[in-house]
Amino acid sequence: MDSGSTARRLPVLNHDALNRYIGGLLADVREPLPSSDVGLSANQPEDIAESIFRTISGRRYCYLSRKRSAVYRDSALQSLAKHIALQQPIRFYYDIGGGYHAGISPTDLSLTFEPGLGEMLMVRQISLLARELAALHPHGIRFTLVIDNLCALLVNDIPLEKTEAFVRKLRAMIQYLDSPVDIDLLVESEHFSPGDYDRGVDTVPAGEPLDSAAMANVSRFLGRHCDAQEASMRIALYHHISEQTDRNINSLLDDIRMTQRATPQSFPFRPFPGGASRIQAGELALFVDEHGNCKPALVTTENYECVRLFKLDLGLEISGRPAPVLVGVRK
């Protein structure tokens, strides 16, 4: 990956467009929430909950169709109406991975333990939702980002010191972004220890034979290449550990749990408009076209060879240190 210092190798980039995009992102995050003196008391909590569910299941925040979203409706409405009736902030819990980003280079698969553009876009998405919901529920929302880093340790041997460093940097980023929304983190290792889990390596059966795509997916989260036997074992181990992780984390939750991709138990929430993938499966880069239009896109091992990536200083500074933005150019 090129850095911003290698100017002689940089293609012609529209820096003005990139700076405008980042400026707009920060403005979106930091815009104060509208005050609401609308007489909502005349509406029943169930009616307000229905309006909120229509908002979070809209295309900006959800990739599912209205029909596919309907299976989550009843449980969501029950939780929403409870807090509306009690005039409390509505709490959302949002899973964002194990505290790192998977490798994107097919040759070395190096993991990344730095929050970046993806996390910034996620905070903007949350801030935009909060402004939309302010007119419906003046008591606001609270978003808790869930990081299952013990699962990452026990399944993929990802050291806690590295994922906990990611957590510290993410907290610093959230503080820097200064959203008016209450955003905090729930970190698995801050509530549980490895001794609370049965890793059961010897008792976890290997799964079915894997194709090359499944092996590649396991490898990029390991941060190194592995063979089919190890990949099969890691997948089985993931199912074994993730069930325990879900039980433990769910014991701390009392509201709507969301994930970037829908599961039978969790409603999906896009990390950014148009996004429909887990940002931890790669890294978000900002692409700018010849018209000055900027668009974020996820870079993974599958499309890495089709792009050139550069880390550029676009004026962001977190905890007193420059925070370069990953910018991409399609080959």
**Domain membership flag for residue 216:** yes
Look at residue 56 and give its three-state secondary structure.
helix
DSSP state of 192: -
**Domain membership flag for residue 167:** yes
**Domain membership flag for residue 103:** yes
Tens digit of pLDDT at every position of the chain (331 positions): 664 444 445 567 889 999 999 999 999 999 999 976 554 455 789 999 999 999 999 999 999 999 999 999 999 999 999 999 999 999 999 999 999 999 999 999 999 999 999 999 999 999 999 999 998 999 999 999 999 999 999 999 999 999 999 999 999 999 999 999 999 999 999 999 999 998 775 544 555 667 888 899 999 999 999 998 899 889 989 989 999 999 999 999 988 999 999 999 899 999 999 988 999 999 999 999 888 899 999 999 999 999 999 999 999 999 889 999 999 998 8
Place of tokens 């980002």: 145
Our count of domains for the chain comes to: 1
**Domain membership flag for residue 36:** no
**Domain membership flag for residue 131:** yes
* Residue-range definition of the domain harbouring residue 223: 2-30+46-330
Beta bridge partners of 325: 312
Answer yes or no: pTM beyond 0.85: yes
pLDDT of residue 6: 46
Beta carbons of 184 and 142 less than 8 angstroms apart: yes
**Domain membership flag for residue 104:** yes
Beta bridge partners of 142: 91, 182
Place of tokens 């959203």: 179
**Domain membership flag for residue 205:** yes
Planar angle of CA 291, 131, 251, nearest 5 degrees: 115
**Domain membership flag for residue 41:** no
Ramachandran area for residue 131 (φ above 0: left; ψ -120 to 50: alpha; else beta): alpha
pLDDT of residue 198: 86
pLDDT of residue 276: 86
pLDDT of residue 43: 76
pLDDT of residue 207: 53
